[in-house]
């Protein structure tokens, strides 16, 4: 089976952009045309994060956090972005705030555990992964990370 050159597939560009079109439609639905509120900035941050633009995602998440500092979801997103960029201290601070605001969110505990694991603070990482699995027993990623740590230590 041969692949046709792009010039003979006139609708391929539309197919490639279908995911982007859906995300843009979601963005418009969520933001209600208010591009500067925290919720719309959060969506923009997620899109930037998914595109690998961590600096932009961090700036947008930082704006969300300044507008709504008591929102654990925004704090967690900031921590996630900073962790991907390798900014460990900022990531730990944001995830600690997220946990302080909502200690029952297993994703925040998992994210903090991931950072502790990356900086080789294995006891703290283990504690965080344990918290994740206590809060959500079916959290397979946390269980796997916990098993890895237990086999090493």
Collapse the DSSP code of 91 into the 3-class scheme (helix H, G, I; strand E, B; otherwise coil) and give the result: helix
Res. 148: pLDDT tops 70: yes
pTM of the model: 0.75
Q: What is the largest CA-CA distance in the chain?
A: 58
pLDDT more than 70, % of the chain: 78
Alpha carbon distance 120, 131 (integer Å): 18
| Per-residue pLDDT at 110 | 97
Phi, psi of 33 (to 5 degrees): 75, 15
Distance from C-alpha of 95 to C-alpha of 61, rounded to nearest angstrom:
13
25: phi then psi, degrees, rounded to nearest 5? -65, -40
pLDDT score of 52: 86
pLDDT of residue 127: 97
């Amino acid at each position: 089976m041969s692949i046709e050159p792009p010039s003979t597939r006139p609708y391929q560009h539309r197919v490639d952009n279908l995911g982007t079109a859906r995300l843009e439609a979601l963005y418009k639905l969520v933001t209600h045309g208010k591009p500067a509120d925290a919720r719309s900035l959060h969506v923009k941050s997620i899109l930037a994060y998914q595109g690998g633009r961590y600096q932009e995602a961090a700036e947008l998440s930082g704006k969300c956090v300044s507008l709504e500092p008591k929102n654990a979801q925004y704090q967690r997103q900031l921590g996630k972005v900073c962790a991907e960029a390798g900014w460990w201290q900022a990531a730990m601070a944001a995830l600690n705030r997220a946990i302080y605001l909502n200690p029952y969110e297993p994703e925040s505990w998992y994210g903090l555990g991931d950072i502790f694991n990356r900086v080789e603070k294995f006891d703290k990482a283990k504690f965080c992964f344990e918290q994740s699995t206590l809060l959500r027993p079916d959290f397979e990623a946390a269980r796997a990370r916990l098993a890895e740590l237990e086999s090493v230590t």
